[in-house]
Structure 1
């Protein structure tokens, strides 16, 4: 990563700023970061003209209120997976630049992943960084010289100490495990009071806000909820409410499972209940902000880390999945996310249709805090502050390049993508002979590969993507001399590798797609 030493950078940030900024005039920033939440997974339409861009069964009145008071982003992007998304959020850098491209724990080498499980596959994949670089500059580190105190509560999942990144209050190097509070039980206990730790995590967040307001400190608070990650949990009464819903009842009948005996991981009532319980915690945060008298000076962001594929959408007759793929892949279903922002100067009920991405948050927060985003070095994001205040985006912004890079085998195969305006190039390293280009304005489901119709557009964007990846020292897989097609075909994910891999012309729709 091309950054200066943390200490030197912090000093530079401090020198760039005038001490005349009064702390009480600086806005507070509250990031409510949701795990594994699809673009179409909320009751808020992410595209008003698409009936399958939201989930009407799910009741989230607080999120609905937030959308009415703030700005909805119709083309927000996260990453393909949680840990890479979180690293990009903290650093303002793409996964290719951070090198953090997979949830992997300890790396298996310095460049190539040479574990036995990959020895006969078509490519030798790469390792991912297993934590943030020692010299990475993070959100709390750029905000501290501006007078901010920062806290991170909930899921961290970056194999490092949040305290070392500038957070004065945090839950440690957490992964998914703490949020799975009931273990591997088939059905939820009736006395569950803190599903996915969302209640206790919210209480910590409220306490932090009270302390900072009492001390007169502007603050950055990131509440990284364990919901809506699998290992579904919700309050018993909320689950019962959704289990009585006629569409959920019809689902139980369809799968031949009674409501009182279905596995919670396959029970849409638990997933829906988890969403409604989460909305209650969002409401608790909003209520506390109002109670503390800081509502007019506090930004609140609700956004997901990565895309997903929620089968609960199919409960509504005639509705199908709008996007291809899911988490792990950089198809739209894996990287598009819901996003809503409320705060000073943001017009209620407004909509922003330009492409935005998780690595835009760090420069945006720095801008809100009184810094100049141009002073941030080696970042890929841009500040969205002006657009949230009503500035119209120009063509340069609307057609900027967003980058996604996954040089790994796991649930996915090695592949990369670039999104530029309404165009998207996908590249699969196993099949470099198949160029892939999509016009997302006409084809959000990525059904029609138009690379042959627009070869110059593909050539230009592919070249820009590869140049960028090389410039940031991204890792690339290489051909495997020990490739054995018969071994490859025996992998449990082989059929998905083929089905979700590259294609020419038009791909067939899956059963759950529209």
Structure 2
């Protein structure tokens, strides 16, 4: 019987006129929301205890790491919407002009009305992807690909206009907050998880829709690009009640309840670390469902699976594990490492199982990489900043030009932040705060991952080099740059509720004192 089955498969392949090895590969991007570099049980740096979350049980993420390649120095963006635009377009945020989801007040350039007495006048942001910009599905369509985007879009506009054959429309964070969006008029969001919650963060329905797309394209014999943009791990934590109980009973979580005078059965939903752990655990199960179905469909050897987060974060759940401190400074919305460094794992044809890559990579590298995987020529893409990682994932040794290329991050806005930018080049990182251009900032990430030692005065030539290159690049791509505010009022600024955080995480000379959770 086995011989007959093998013969049938051989004949079918011959009739199709091509072998499995000749088929174009499928590409699946698992894009996770608000997930820190150290937010899983997989160590992004095997030498650092705090580069992982030990309490979490995520066997499918661990499986992905065993079967694929980890990226020690992967970068996203300081906020989710700009990150998603970087992925789709291959462009840095300063080039695309999409630097934040908010700050569109009808101005052409400056957001002068929003912060009238602050030290600098921040900039507005583009609100959609430029119509003439080539996106991932538009670049892959001529190569025979059908593309789908399932889950959170958060870039405004219609994903169908960007080439997606299947999508969920112009979604933002709200659909994933099912405990809030499912309320009837007059109802209040529950303080604890409802016992009948079956689709937290839409993880299960998003996964089911994605799997149906894979099944349909595999049946049709068409290569596909599938982006599964999960609403997890964004704030508004949700998980299956049974998964929450699993972590609520963990001895370390029980100890946290006791230390913080909380009770397992009455702790508020937003205060319960077991819900966050449960959300990660449920997410892992949905990732496993995708990996399992890829294998069952017989396309595992011809499918790339990429897992990455949109931006950095600072998960306080790390501290439930005794002895672990935060590895990075700051969090989302800032271009410190805590806001832009993210987890990334890739598996697929020709990628070394259990491998690792130490060079700097960034979210806008995906478009050219995917084009090369699909059999195209990424060198023909115009006006992009990303470079193809396909060769490096296949074993090519990166040269100095790649290892020391400049990666640009630009957040010319106020929120709890202040307008600032950064350049990462090899082991060096420059930060520039537009409120304090008189404070040069430079860090050596090879021995100062927490960015606690400003070495700009010790290496003025390196600082000047990177600053001049950043300034020239911003001018070349037409980046919006904040300007001094002639109406600045120090008293009004200091009275702002975000002032203390801005001072704490703003520019500094010499050494900064480590925060309590970094020590």
Partner secondary structure for residue 114 of structure 1? coil
- 8 Å contact kept, 1:176–1:226: yes
The CA deviation at 1:106 is 4.4
Matched, 1:202 2:207: yes
Which residue of structure 1 aligns with residue 273 of structure 2? 268
What does 1:330-369 align with in structure 2 at a 5 Å threshold? 330-369=335-374
Unaligned runs of 5+ in 1: 1-19
1:372 to 359, 367, 377: 377
Matched, 1:301 2:298: no
Which structure has the bigger radius of gyration?
2
What does 1:57-456 align with in structure 2 at a 5 Å threshold? 57-104=55-102, 106-115=104-113, 117-183=114-180, 184-456=189-461
Deviation per residue, 1:434-484 (Å, 9 max, x gap): 000000000000000000110000000111111111110000111111111
TM-score (norm 2): 0.94
What does 1:30-45 align with in structure 2 at a 5 Å threshold? 30-45=28-43
User: In structure 2, what is the Cα distance between the partners aligned to 1:22 and 1:43?
Assistant: 35
Which residue of structure 2 aligns with residue 4 of structure 1? none
Deviation per residue, 1:141-172 (Å, 9 max, x gap): 00000000000000000011000000000000
- 8 Å contact kept, 1:23–1:216: no
User: In structure 2, what is the Cα distance between the partners aligned to 1:304 and 1:205?
Assistant: 18
Q: How many residues are aligned here? A: 494
Partner secondary structure for residue 437 of structure 2? coil
The CA deviation at 1:411 is 2.0
The CA deviation at 1:87 is 0.2
Which residue of structure 2 aligns with residue 495 of structure 1? 500
Partner secondary structure for residue 277 of structure 2? helix
- 8 Å contact kept, 2:154–2:170: yes
Runs of 4+ in 1 over 4 A off after TM superposition: 20-24
User: In structure 2, what is the Cα distance between the partners aligned to 1:485 and 1:217?
Assistant: 61
User: In structure 2, what is the Cα distance between the partners aligned to 1:38 and 1:62?
Assistant: 17
TM-score (norm 1): 0.95
Q: Name the CA shift for 1:21/1:315 in 2 (closer, same or farther; >3 Å).
A: same
- 8 Å contact kept, 1:187–1:263: yes
Which residue of structure 1 aligns with residue 10 of structure 2? none
User: In structure 1, what is the Cα distance between the partners aligned to 2:315 and 2:263?
Assistant: 21
User: In structure 1, what is the Cα distance between the partners aligned to 2:281 and 2:469?
Assistant: 43
- 8 Å contact kept, 1:38–1:308: yes
User: In structure 1, what is the Cα distance between the partners aligned to 2:416 and 2:106?
Assistant: 18
User: In structure 2, what is the Cα distance between the partners aligned to 1:302 and 1:448?
Assistant: 32
